A and B are shown apart, each in its own frame.
Chain A
Amino acid sequence: SAVISQKPSRDICQRGTSLTIQCQVDSQVTMMFWYRQQPGQSLTLIATANQGSEATYESGFVIDKFPISRPNLTFSTLTVSNMSPEDSSIYLCSVELGGETQYFGPGTRLLVL
């Protein structure tokens, strides 16, 4: 497995503002992903963070709302832009290791007022 950290662990934000979430892995990984977990719900894939190129977004998620950076093989950021209360969720990064097995970070708990 890998040690995955996320910052911040939680935040309370005002609507209309933006928050950038960081994900750091202790080893180089090819595949990194960002998920959203709305309150009481399961996880939904937002996008695949590609190193050196634009992220690949899933249906229902767009780059203007969730810009993603992946400057190297151990780090990625997800920005939640122009937030509204509906963006209140847990945001999780994951990495693919050992062939089709994903490990998750601890998550960032976001509350938008």
Chain B
Amino acid sequence: GQQLNQSPQSMFIQEGEDVSMNCTSSSIFNTWLWYKQDPGEGPVLLIALYKAGELTSNGRLTAQFGITRKDSFLNISASIPSDVGIYFCAAIQGAQKLVFGQGTRLTINP
């Protein structure tokens, strides 16, 4: 089936640094979504992207839907301790079925 290649798998950064992660695929998708999952919780939607080339911000988070419709990135600026968690990209191709990336585990050193 379709797969999303998410990188990096993990990141260890200092508080205040910016973070960048991305997802790529060999398939075209119509919608890209970014989620954050805290330990013991379900994924929480951060940003949804519906149009190729779209750049969307949510506070310190910025995400873009690649122009080829095969990739997306998520940036976090000025990281804070509560940004710790696992970030997942996800994409929808048809019938509202989500396919997920492998996740990026973010660790922040204070």
On A, residues with C-beta under 8 Å from B are 1, 4, 31, 33, 41-45, 48, 58-59, 92, 94, 96, 99-107, 109
Contacts and interface: CB of A to CB of B under 8 A. Distances in A.
Contacts, number: 59
A45 B97 contact: yes
Given A41-B102, A43-B90, A104-B42, 14 more contacts: A33-B97, A33-B98, A42-B100, A42-B103, A43-B88, A58-B97, A59-B1, A92-B42, A99-B50, A100-B96, A101-B33, A102-B90, A103-B45, A105-B42
A94 B96 CA distance: 11
6 nearest A-B residue pairs (beta carbon): A104-B42, A42-B100, A100-B31, A107-B42, A106-B42, A43-B100
Interface of B: 1, 30-31, 33, 35, 40-45, 48, 50, 88, 90, 92, 95-103
